[in-house]
Structures are given as C-alpha cells and as structure tokens.
Chain A
C-alpha cells in the first residue's frame, strides 16, 4: 500500500506584487497540503495573504503580481508556469473557486441559467450531440444543480438575473456554478462572510453535505475560527503572508501553540463563558513592504525574545502539527 498522495500540494509559494511603494511579498513561503476528501480551513485577518495564495493556485495572479518561487501541484501536475490554455481546461472542471462577494462575481447582465450552463457547455464531456441537444442537456443539469443547492422552483428562476436573488441565494448560485462539473477540489473564499448567521449555517451545511456526496476536497478560507472549528479537519493559520501554525483543527484550536493563534482565540468573546474578559492583541498587522527577516508577529508578541529577530522556520511539533515560533522548541529544552 502506498501512502495517499495529496490532491493539492502548495510548497514554499512566494507571490509578489510590484507597487509604487515598493515590492510587496503578499505570500511568503506558504506550504499547504490537501488530501483527497479533506476539508482544510485557512484562517487569517485581512492582508494575511490567504486570498492571494489561492488566487495563485487558480492562476489568477496577474500583473503587477507574479509567482516568484515555490511550486503548486494538483494531482501531481505542476501548476506554476502552466499555459493559460491548460489552465482553462482545469479551472471550473477539476478545481473550482467561489468568490467572497457573490454580487460582483456574477455577471449582472446574464441570467443565472446562462451562467451555470456556460460552465457545463465548456467543460462537460458527457454533453454530446448537436448544439441544441447539448444546450438542452446543460439546461437539465443546471436545474439539477439549482435543486441541489436548494433554490426553490429552479425551472422559472433559471431565467432570473443575479439582482433578483438575495445574498444567501446568490452565494448558492455561485456554489452551483462551482460544483456544476463535479470538481475534485472546491476553494471557497469567505463563502459566508457577507451572510447572516442563519443563512451562513445553511450554506456551510450545504457545502459539507455536497462534499460527502461527491467526495471532493474543500478549502475553506475564512476569518471565523468558529466556522473552522465546526467544519474543517485541519487548519492553517496565516499571518502577514506566512502560515504560522497548522495542524488538526481540534488540537490547534484547543491548544494553540503560536502566540498569534492564542491571541486570536482570546480576542473572541466566548458565549459559553461571558464573564471571561477578552484580551485584544495590541498593535496592528505589519506593512508587507520592507519586512525585517525575523518573526512577523514580534511587534505584537508578549513573549518574544532575542532569537525572534532571526528568521523563524516552520517546525514540526508532533501530532501532525507545525508552528513558526521559537517558543515550543525552547520549552522542550
């Protein structure tokens, strides 16, 4: 028996942008593996590089940005430097991504039926025969997808435009488009940030349900640790362009070992224990221009020491966990 291979493997990825203020390294040495059927959460505040990481995976980083190093493999195939043409056959078919803001991601001038069918007509090999025949087949599949994501009376709503749907419904339509070709990997970028909690629960349950049904892998990009705790098998915490802690969700959230992860958890009021005073992380995320080589959290960290001024690498601390901090090593000694 061979070890199961990750479906997506990002290793030491560097994505940079040339801005008029200087060179911004938005993603700096990020490594994340996703196994088949697994749900991985990527957590971080705005500017931590989580969205740029997965825009890199999708080949969506365009000038003035570029991938400066590292590799991204999908089912063993290298994606960095792949031609646009090859990417087109991959995006939407094997890897699909839903964007944070469903209103701007959908085309306001086309009916949603058109937008779902477009993916199917481009990628689905099962649709054969004359153009008319293919179109009818795509329409049936589109209706099926809309039913799957729980949009009532799909036959008539197929002809509606995005503005005629509510926020939660639009997010469902994006998911329907993403899932239309049964991708092996779904990247969901903040799928519920714009939604109310009751709708959020519906959308997340839907993704979890479809994941089980189709056996696909899911990457859930979010800033909400509660969402990660409930839906993800493993989690990677990002800060200022780097993964600073990763491991099984229960261990990372139950016993965080990086001071930033600890700080993040202490910043959230705990509904089960409201008398516990929240402790904010003082200060702000550093600018990504002209960073010092040392730990990026050093300015906000309560427990930093001299070793933190040098470059800190990710190190394994057992149980499938890794952390970019000098403390766990020191504690062990």
Chain B
C-alpha cells in the first residue's frame, strides 16, 4: 500500500519514457573490453618497471531486457565491478559497444553522456566510503538534481524528502551527516541518491555485501519493492549466490573477465552446465546441510588477469579439462533451455 501511493507521485515527477512495454531490450553490451595498461606510464619510466596489461573485462556480451534483473556473479577479481562501471562509462571501455535504449553510450560526447546519466545510475558496495562525510544527507542526494538542473530552491527539499520516504527513512534525517547512520541506513541513502534522477536502469554493485544478514534482507526487500513500483531495470552484481538467486530473473556467471554461462535463474541454479558454475554453486554452504555431499572440489586460486591462462581460462582449475581446453577459447553456445554456455565439453543439444 505504502509503495503504491508513492508510485503515483514518483511517476508524475518522471517522464513518459517508462510507458514502453516491458520485455524489449534496454541494454545491449557487445564485446566489451576493459584493459588497464600500465606499460607506458610515467611511474614505469621512473622505476624501470615494465608494467602490466590487466585484462579485467575481456570481450563480454550481454543483454538486459526492460524491467528485468540480471544477476552478475563471480569471485573477487573476476572483473564484475569493472564491467558494471564500464557500462556506465565510469571507467572508459577499451573497446566494444554499450547500446542503451538504441543509443551507443560509448560514442556519446560529455554533454550527451551527462544527459544519459539521468537514465543510468549506480549503487555502490561500501556505504561507508561512498558517502561524503562532510556533507549532509540533503546535499548528498540533491547534488545530482542540482548538477542536472532538474530542480531548484524549495523543490529540491521536497524531492529529497520524498526520496528519503521512498527508501524508508524519516525525512527529518536530511540535515544529518553520514556518520550518524548505521550501515543499512547509509545504503538506503545511497539508493535514494541513485533514484534522485528517476533513472530507468541501476547498476547495483554488491549493495548488500557490507551488511549484516538481517539488515541485508531489509535492503534486498527495498530494492525489489522499488523495482516493482518504479519499473526499474537492474544489473545486480554480487558474489553471494543466494542473494543473486533471490533477486534475479536471469544470471550471468563471470570468470576472469569472461562470461562463462548465462541463463534463466532457475536453469542456472537448478541445472548448471559450465563446470565453473557447478563448482561455484556446490561450494555454497547450505543451511539445510545438503551442500556438503556433492561438492565439486576446485583446487588453487583464481589466476591473475595480468597473464590469464590460454584457451579456456578455467582449464587450470577445471576437474574435466581436456587438451582442447588449453588450446582453443570456447565460443558461447545457445542451449535449448535458454542458457548460453562457453565450454568445449557441453555439447550442442
């Protein structure tokens, strides 16, 4: 009920751009690459250090439909945050295209990109580091409105109040500073800031991993309610499989800069095809104690993205690796189930 009312006021404040039907493609990422090259820096010249080429995101393609939540899962260092930020051009992609509602974001100039940012926002992982400790909550949330020239004077206060209510905080809190809030409340402030411009698409970069379990559930519930009421589309990045499983319509599994498997949530969790997805899922300790028996054991650590293994990047840890896997990088194959898998061992149905 509470949210139904707010939805009314929110959509009045917004534009008609959300009237389009659900289900059409909102975001299309094609062969996106992000490499960090430290080989030609000044530091390298001074120290004589040759530097590295870090292949953080290495040719990723994915699509997200309007109104959908795509869960992006992978271990730390696999490039999932870099991918999320490259999509928003918070990091400039090395190559590839990001088509958002028909426009190629990577080709936009600064002005057009600023306008586009109204429609794409991000919620950061660390609610302690992502809020300026010297600004009040009102300043933090209103900055985007001021920069984009969307509200002036007393309108700003009204809008900030409304946003705080939307995320379940008291409007009187707007004159307080970030240190006066708990982790869960701070994350709500981060969400209010992302909602300030009425975006259509939000990258949620590990929004609950810094929070305690009971608080985590509150924030997940809030994000789900906002999505339903405001018709949002999420790219939800997390390393926690149960969280991803709960919020996502579809899941993409990332390993060392590549997407190795994508598919509908039930398919990925119920019948994972890629050996890495299988290992990742079986490693999760289950409350009902069913996980332990059929654990796929992985040996070793994630290899470095500076010098990733040739062929299939997973072959160094894969229990089923064959000779072919060391030589040739597997292409994505569409399966009948709606999944898409990059593995030599998964045969076409």
Contact = CB atoms under 8 A, between A and B. Distances in A.
Same complex for A and B? Answer yes
Contact of B220 (A168, A202, A278, A285): A278
Interface string A205-246: 000000000000000000111110111000000000000000
A169 interface: yes
B215 interface: yes
A166 interface: yes
A168 B301 contact: yes
Interface residues of B, number: 41
B214 A280 contact: yes
Contact of B288 (A202, A272, A278, A279): A272
Nearest to B265: A274
Contacts of A86: none
Contact of B284 (A168, A271, A281): A271
Contacts of A281: 214, 217-218
Interface stretch (B125-133, B289-297, B324-332): B289-297
Contact of A230 (B241, B265, B281, B291): B291
A267 B289 CA distance: 17
Contacts of A266: 217
A46 interface: yes
A278 B246 contact: yes
Contacts, number: 119
B297 to A, nearest CB: 8
B286 A280 contact: no
Interface string A262-291: 011111111110100011111011000000
- Looking at chain A's contact residues, the main secondary structure is helix
B286 A226 contact: yes
B242 interface: yes
B286 A229 contact: yes
B283 interface: yes
Nearest to A266: B217
Given A197-B280, A271-B241, A271-B245, A230 B214 contact: no
B76 interface: yes
B245 to A, nearest CB: 5
A267 B295 contact: no
Contacts of A278: 217, 220-221, 246
B217 A267 contact: yes
Contacts of A270: 242, 287-288
A231 B291 CA distance: 11
Given A267-B213, A280-B218, A272 B246 contact: no
Most A-side CB within 10 Å, residue of B287, B295, B301: B287
A94 interface: no
A269 B295 contact: no
Contacts of A166: 301-302
Given A230-B292, A263-B214, A271 B76 contact: no
Contacts of A280: 214-218, 220-221
A170 to B, nearest CB: 11
B214 A271 contact: no
A215 to B, nearest CB: 21
Given A197-B284, A226-B285, A229-B287, 7 more contacts: A166-B301, A200-B285, A230-B291, A270-B242, A278-B217, A280-B215, A280-B221
16 contacts: A45-B214, A166-B302, A169-B301, A196-B75, A197-B241, A204-B285, A225-B213, A229-B288, A264-B214, A266-B217, A267-B217, A269-B242, A271-B284, A271-B286, A280-B220, A281-B218
Q: What 10 pairs across the A-B complex have the smallest Cβ distances?
A: A226-B285, A280-B217, A269-B246, A267-B217, A196-B75, A45-B212, A281-B214, A280-B218, A201-B283, A197-B283
